[in-house]
Amino acid sequence: MPDNVVTNILDRLPVQLALRTSILSRNWRFKWTMLTQLVFDDNFFEYLTKTSAENNHGGIISRLLLNVKGGIEKFVFFMPKVIDNNDVENINHWILFLSRKRIKDITLTNTNVFFPLKLPTYFFSCLELKHLKLTRCWLHPPHNFHGFPNLLSLQLCLVQFESSELGEILTRCPSLEILDMRFFFYACKVKLVDIVKAKNLKMLSLSVCNIDAVAISSSTIFELVGFLPKLQDLDLDFLDYTVKDAHPWPNPIPEVEYKTTGLRSVVFTYFAGSENEVCLIKYILACSPILEKIVIHPHWSLASDGRLMFTRKLLKLRRASTVAEIDFD
């Protein structure tokens, strides 16, 4: 069996099962070292707890990494809720190791709510990265950071950084197509001017409640879409935040603004039914000729009468797209 076929089979298995292929035959004893995708998730740690008397899970992962022969394309790690300095040191060593293995896909999920993981400087030398997903990490690029030239998707949840650093990162990711940012609570504020630096975005998912609230309104959000000419899918989460009634959009819509978006799919979550929220939908419908669907998940506080009134308003809105549907969930 060709090596590429063996690797393809192994990569489709959970790591713990891929390791067990070593008992199949003498020929398969070291085939697992051809793995290119390593997923250390809850299932992996549960397996270790049940089968290994050794409590040093970090040491086990380190030995496994050192035995992998070729490049590593994907690395997924779910940090335990209780971590110590040894865990952090292990993770730093792994990131250094991965940076030398031309890693393309990294997911680091920190489940400890009180301890954000500070990423080491050499994390920013993973120049082959195409997909990056971080949860509860501290992102602080060095001064000589030149960017991730191949990065296609970036997902950040509860990630901390200095106010100016997000724009710095996005500017240095020229290939970025998917951006998903969920911050909430203690995390940093995001400036719309930073987001528009990612000119090639096709998908944007954003928690509006954590945008820098200098002038959040239907018009500023729509302007954001206008600055992203390739944007096709938009997902806005208005949790605990109502779009301000300041700076209302002009009425009627200026012809120069017509047909300016390439949006195909829009999802709004926690809509409260305010006039300005309706206004935002109005202009997206009127200025998106290839729009296929808008999905609206109302805020839990919106009563049945309010939902009915909101629905009636939506049905009256003009649509530039002849196939656009509104799904009011």
Of the two residues 281 and 148, the one the predictor is more confident about is 148
Residue 208: its pLDDT value, please?
Answer: 60
Sign of CA dihedral 253, 258, 262, 265: positive
Token pair of 175, please? Answer: 């290939």
Domain membership of residue 87 (yes or no) is: no
Domain membership of residue 104 (yes or no) is: no
Are 106 and 98 in contact, with CB atoms under 8 Å apart? yes
Residue 257: its pLDDT value, please?
Answer: 47
Residues 119-128 pLDDT 10s: 999 999 999 9
Token pair of 27, please? Answer: 């020929």
Are 179 and 203 in contact, with CB atoms under 8 Å apart? yes
- Structural domain harbouring 285: 208-329
* Bridge partners, 177 (sequence order): none
Q: What band does 253 get if pLDDT is binned at 50, 70 and 90? A: very low
Are 167 and 141 in contact, with CB atoms under 8 Å apart? no
For 166-186, the three-class secondary structure string (H helix, E strand, C coil) is: HHHHHHCCCCCCEEEEECCCC
Domain membership of residue 101 (yes or no) is: no
Q: What band does 238 get if pLDDT is binned at 50, 70 and 90? A: confident
Domain membership of residue 216 (yes or no) is: yes
Nearest Cα residue to 113 out of 87, 80, 86: 80
| Spatial CB neighbours of 85, under 8 Å, sequence gap ≥ 6 | none
Residues 15-69 pLDDT 10s: 999 988 989 888 889 999 999 999 999 888 888 888 776 667 888 899 999 999 8
Domain membership of residue 254 (yes or no) is: yes
In degrees, to the nearest 5, what angle opens at C-alpha 259 toward C-alphas 257 and 264? Answer: 130
pLDDT > 60? residue 162: yes
Domain membership of residue 201 (yes or no) is: no
pLDDT > 70? residue 82: no
Residue owning tokens 């049940």: 50
DSSP structure class, residue 95: H
Q: State how many domains the chain has.
A: 1
pLDDT > 50? residue 283: yes
Q: Does residue 174 have a cis peptide bond before it, meaning omega lies within 30 degrees of 0?
A: no
Token pair of 295, please? Answer: 């999905």
Sign of CA dihedral 187, 78, 43, 6: positive
Domain membership of residue 261 (yes or no) is: yes
Domain membership of residue 38 (yes or no) is: no
Residue 114: its pLDDT value, please?
Answer: 80
